[in-house]
Amino acid sequence: MSSSHSLRAVKRFRLRELLSHQSLVSSSSIAADSKRPQRLAPELSQGGTLPNPFIPHKNPESGRWAPPKYSLRRQAELIKHALASGTIHLLPPGPKLSPAQLAAIASDASSATTNKPAEGRASESSSGLTDIQQAQGQGSEDAGWTGPVEWAGTVRERSVAGADIGNRLYAGKKRMFKGHKWERMRERRVIRTKILLRDMDKRVQRFKGYRTKGKPLPLARRSNVLKKTQKLPF
Protein backbone atom coordinates (compact mmCIF):
# COMPACT_ATOMS: atom_id res chain seq x y z
CA MET A 1 0.00 0.00 0.00
CA SER A 2 1.82 3.09 -1.27
CA SER A 3 1.34 6.50 0.27
CA SER A 4 0.18 8.00 -3.05
CA HIS A 5 -2.53 5.35 -3.41
CA SER A 6 -3.64 5.93 0.18
CA LEU A 7 -3.67 9.69 -0.36
CA ARG A 8 -5.89 9.29 -3.43
CA ALA A 9 -8.32 7.14 -1.44
CA VAL A 10 -8.63 9.78 1.30
CA LYS A 11 -8.96 12.51 -1.32
CA ARG A 12 -11.78 10.65 -3.07
CA PHE A 13 -13.58 10.29 0.25
CA ARG A 14 -13.29 13.99 1.06
CA LEU A 15 -14.35 15.12 -2.41
CA ARG A 16 -17.28 12.73 -2.41
CA GLU A 17 -18.55 14.03 0.91
CA LEU A 18 -17.99 17.68 0.05
CA LEU A 19 -19.54 17.47 -3.40
CA SER A 20 -22.52 15.44 -2.21
CA HIS A 21 -23.59 18.43 -0.10
CA GLN A 22 -22.90 21.02 -2.76
CA SER A 23 -26.01 21.95 -4.70
CA LEU A 24 -24.10 23.55 -7.58
CA VAL A 25 -22.51 20.26 -8.67
CA SER A 26 -24.54 17.55 -10.34
CA SER A 27 -24.49 13.96 -9.13
CA SER A 28 -22.45 12.89 -12.17
CA SER A 29 -19.47 14.92 -11.01
CA ILE A 30 -19.24 13.02 -7.71
CA ALA A 31 -17.66 9.98 -9.37
CA ALA A 32 -14.49 8.97 -7.58
CA ASP A 33 -12.57 8.07 -10.72
CA SER A 34 -13.18 11.36 -12.53
CA LYS A 35 -9.95 12.81 -13.92
CA ARG A 36 -11.15 16.37 -14.39
CA PRO A 37 -10.57 18.83 -11.51
CA GLN A 38 -13.62 19.12 -9.26
CA ARG A 39 -14.38 22.61 -8.08
CA LEU A 40 -15.74 23.17 -4.62
CA ALA A 41 -17.94 25.96 -3.43
CA PRO A 42 -16.06 28.62 -1.43
CA GLU A 43 -18.05 27.93 1.73
CA LEU A 44 -17.13 24.23 1.58
CA SER A 45 -13.47 24.74 0.69
CA GLN A 46 -13.02 27.18 3.56
CA GLY A 47 -14.79 24.91 6.04
CA GLY A 48 -18.32 24.04 7.02
CA THR A 49 -20.58 21.58 8.81
CA LEU A 50 -21.31 18.22 7.21
CA PRO A 51 -23.16 15.16 8.55
CA ASN A 52 -20.78 12.50 9.78
CA PRO A 53 -21.00 9.59 7.28
CA PHE A 54 -19.56 7.15 9.83
CA ILE A 55 -22.50 7.29 12.28
CA PRO A 56 -26.29 6.85 11.89
CA HIS A 57 -28.52 9.92 11.60
CA LYS A 58 -32.11 10.49 12.65
CA ASN A 59 -34.61 11.92 10.21
CA PRO A 60 -36.30 14.87 11.97
CA GLU A 61 -39.49 14.45 9.94
CA SER A 62 -40.08 10.70 10.10
CA GLY A 63 -38.14 10.02 13.30
CA ARG A 64 -36.39 7.03 11.74
CA TRP A 65 -32.68 6.33 11.90
CA ALA A 66 -30.68 6.07 8.70
CA PRO A 67 -27.69 3.68 8.82
CA PRO A 68 -24.14 5.00 8.36
CA LYS A 69 -23.15 5.79 4.81
CA TYR A 70 -19.94 3.77 5.14
CA SER A 71 -19.84 0.28 6.61
CA LEU A 72 -17.40 -0.67 9.35
CA ARG A 73 -15.21 -2.46 6.81
CA ARG A 74 -14.94 0.61 4.59
CA GLN A 75 -14.29 2.79 7.63
CA ALA A 76 -11.41 0.53 8.65
CA GLU A 77 -9.97 0.68 5.11
CA LEU A 78 -10.16 4.49 5.06
CA ILE A 79 -8.43 4.65 8.45
CA LYS A 80 -5.61 2.43 7.12
CA HIS A 81 -5.20 4.68 4.08
CA ALA A 82 -5.23 7.81 6.24
CA LEU A 83 -2.60 6.39 8.62
CA ALA A 84 -0.39 5.39 5.70
CA SER A 85 -0.65 8.81 4.04
CA GLY A 86 -0.52 10.90 7.23
CA THR A 87 -3.99 12.39 6.67
CA ILE A 88 -5.80 10.93 9.66
CA HIS A 89 -6.97 14.40 10.70
CA LEU A 90 -9.10 14.61 7.54
CA LEU A 91 -11.35 11.71 8.56
CA PRO A 92 -14.40 12.09 10.80
CA PRO A 93 -14.62 10.20 14.10
CA GLY A 94 -16.63 7.00 14.19
CA PRO A 95 -16.94 3.55 15.78
CA LYS A 96 -13.55 2.51 14.39
CA LEU A 97 -11.87 5.77 15.39
CA SER A 98 -13.13 7.55 18.49
CA PRO A 99 -12.57 11.30 18.99
CA ALA A 100 -10.06 10.56 21.77
CA GLN A 101 -8.06 8.22 19.51
CA LEU A 102 -8.22 10.77 16.68
CA ALA A 103 -6.88 13.53 18.93
CA ALA A 104 -4.13 11.25 20.30
CA ILE A 105 -2.99 10.22 16.81
CA ALA A 106 -3.02 13.82 15.60
CA SER A 107 -0.99 15.00 18.62
CA ASP A 108 1.53 12.17 18.17
CA ALA A 109 1.93 13.02 14.49
CA SER A 110 2.42 16.73 15.22
CA SER A 111 4.98 16.02 17.97
CA ALA A 112 6.83 13.59 15.69
CA THR A 113 7.02 16.24 12.94
CA THR A 114 8.29 18.90 15.32
CA ASN A 115 10.95 16.64 16.83
CA LYS A 116 12.40 15.65 13.43
CA PRO A 117 15.42 17.60 12.08
CA ALA A 118 14.89 20.11 9.28
CA GLU A 119 16.80 18.12 6.65
CA GLY A 120 14.80 14.99 7.50
CA ARG A 121 11.51 16.82 7.04
CA ALA A 122 12.63 18.28 3.73
CA SER A 123 13.41 14.84 2.34
CA GLU A 124 9.88 13.54 3.01
CA SER A 125 8.41 14.54 -0.32
CA SER A 126 6.39 11.36 -0.60
CA SER A 127 4.37 11.80 2.60
CA GLY A 128 0.72 12.76 2.44
CA LEU A 129 1.04 15.98 4.43
CA THR A 130 3.87 17.21 2.18
CA ASP A 131 1.82 16.49 -0.93
CA ILE A 132 -1.11 18.41 0.53
CA GLN A 133 1.08 21.40 1.37
CA GLN A 134 2.56 21.38 -2.14
CA ALA A 135 -0.92 21.26 -3.70
CA GLN A 136 -2.07 24.16 -1.56
CA GLY A 137 1.05 26.16 -2.36
CA GLN A 138 0.59 25.71 -6.10
CA GLY A 139 -2.98 27.00 -5.79
CA SER A 140 -4.60 24.05 -7.52
CA GLU A 141 -8.35 23.94 -7.91
CA ASP A 142 -8.85 20.84 -5.82
CA ALA A 143 -6.75 21.99 -2.88
CA GLY A 144 -9.92 22.89 -0.98
CA TRP A 145 -10.63 19.26 -0.08
CA THR A 146 -8.15 19.58 2.80
CA GLY A 147 -10.02 22.44 4.44
CA PRO A 148 -11.33 22.11 8.00
CA VAL A 149 -14.75 20.48 8.27
CA GLU A 150 -16.96 20.20 11.33
CA TRP A 151 -18.66 16.81 11.33
CA ALA A 152 -22.18 16.93 12.76
CA GLY A 153 -23.30 14.09 15.00
CA THR A 154 -22.34 12.45 18.27
CA VAL A 155 -20.19 9.34 18.31
CA ARG A 156 -21.29 6.87 20.98
CA GLU A 157 -18.25 5.20 22.44
CA ARG A 158 -18.83 1.71 23.76
CA SER A 159 -16.81 0.54 26.73
CA VAL A 160 -15.72 -2.98 25.85
CA ALA A 161 -14.37 -5.01 28.75
CA GLY A 162 -10.82 -6.18 28.18
CA ALA A 163 -10.15 -3.89 25.21
CA ASP A 164 -7.28 -2.21 27.08
CA ILE A 165 -5.50 -5.52 27.70
CA GLY A 166 -6.27 -7.01 24.29
CA ASN A 167 -8.53 -9.81 25.58
CA ARG A 168 -12.11 -8.89 24.77
CA LEU A 169 -13.43 -12.43 24.34
CA TYR A 170 -13.16 -13.77 27.89
CA ALA A 171 -12.84 -10.51 29.84
CA GLY A 172 -15.37 -10.27 32.66
CA LYS A 173 -16.55 -13.87 32.15
CA LYS A 174 -16.02 -17.12 33.97
CA ARG A 175 -13.45 -19.50 32.60
CA MET A 176 -14.97 -21.50 29.78
CA PHE A 177 -14.92 -25.21 30.58
CA LYS A 178 -13.87 -27.41 27.68
CA GLY A 179 -15.20 -30.89 28.38
CA HIS A 180 -18.23 -33.18 28.66
CA LYS A 181 -21.37 -32.33 30.57
CA TRP A 182 -20.81 -35.02 33.20
CA GLU A 183 -17.38 -33.55 33.87
CA ARG A 184 -18.90 -30.12 34.41
CA MET A 185 -21.54 -31.55 36.77
CA ARG A 186 -19.11 -33.77 38.66
CA GLU A 187 -18.02 -31.21 41.25
CA ARG A 188 -21.56 -30.43 42.38
CA ARG A 189 -22.49 -34.12 42.37
CA VAL A 190 -19.51 -35.03 44.57
CA ILE A 191 -20.42 -32.30 47.08
CA ARG A 192 -24.04 -33.50 47.25
CA THR A 193 -22.95 -37.13 47.70
CA LYS A 194 -20.67 -36.17 50.61
CA ILE A 195 -23.50 -34.33 52.34
CA LEU A 196 -25.87 -37.30 51.91
CA LEU A 197 -23.33 -39.79 53.26
CA ARG A 198 -22.52 -37.56 56.21
CA ASP A 199 -26.14 -37.56 57.44
CA MET A 200 -27.04 -41.08 56.30
CA ASP A 201 -27.31 -42.60 59.85
CA LYS A 202 -29.72 -39.91 61.00
CA ARG A 203 -31.77 -40.33 57.87
CA VAL A 204 -32.05 -44.13 58.31
CA GLN A 205 -33.05 -43.75 61.97
CA ARG A 206 -35.66 -41.16 61.13
CA PHE A 207 -37.06 -43.37 58.39
CA LYS A 208 -37.34 -46.44 60.61
CA GLY A 209 -38.96 -44.55 63.50
CA TYR A 210 -41.53 -42.82 61.36
CA ARG A 211 -44.48 -45.02 62.49
CA THR A 212 -45.10 -44.70 66.22
CA LYS A 213 -47.46 -46.62 68.52
CA GLY A 214 -50.31 -44.26 67.82
CA LYS A 215 -50.28 -45.16 64.15
CA PRO A 216 -51.16 -48.83 63.46
CA LEU A 217 -49.25 -50.77 60.91
CA PRO A 218 -51.21 -51.23 57.70
CA LEU A 219 -50.66 -55.03 57.47
CA ALA A 220 -50.91 -55.88 61.20
CA ARG A 221 -53.98 -57.67 62.66
CA ARG A 222 -56.07 -55.23 64.61
CA SER A 223 -57.59 -56.57 67.87
CA ASN A 224 -60.31 -53.97 68.23
CA VAL A 225 -62.13 -55.09 65.08
CA LEU A 226 -65.33 -57.07 65.77
CA LYS A 227 -65.33 -60.69 64.72
CA LYS A 228 -68.13 -62.21 62.70
CA THR A 229 -69.38 -64.33 65.66
CA GLN A 230 -69.55 -61.41 68.04
CA LYS A 231 -72.83 -59.60 68.50
CA LEU A 232 -73.58 -56.09 69.41
CA PRO A 233 -74.73 -55.40 73.02
CA PHE A 234 -78.14 -54.08 71.90
pTM for this entry: 0.53
| β-pairing verdict for 149-152 and 57-58 | unpaired
Dist CA 156 CA 43 (whole Å): 29
For 42-56, how does the pLDDT look when each residue is reduced to its tens digit (9 = 90+)?
545 555 788 899 999
For 170-225, how does the pLDDT look when each residue is reduced to its tens digit (9 = 90+)?
777 777 777 898 998 999 999 999 999 999 999 898 888 776 655 666 666 666 55
Nearby residues of 196 by Cβ (< 8 Å), 6 or more positions away: 203
For 99-157, how does the pLDDT look when each residue is reduced to its tens digit (9 = 90+)?
888 888 877 766 765 665 554 544 444 445 555 555 444 444 455 788 888 888 888 87
Report percent pLDDT > 70 for the chain. 63
SS3 (DSSP) at 130: helix
Given a contact cutoff of 8 angstroms between Cβ atoms, the answer to whether 92 and 53 are in contact is yes
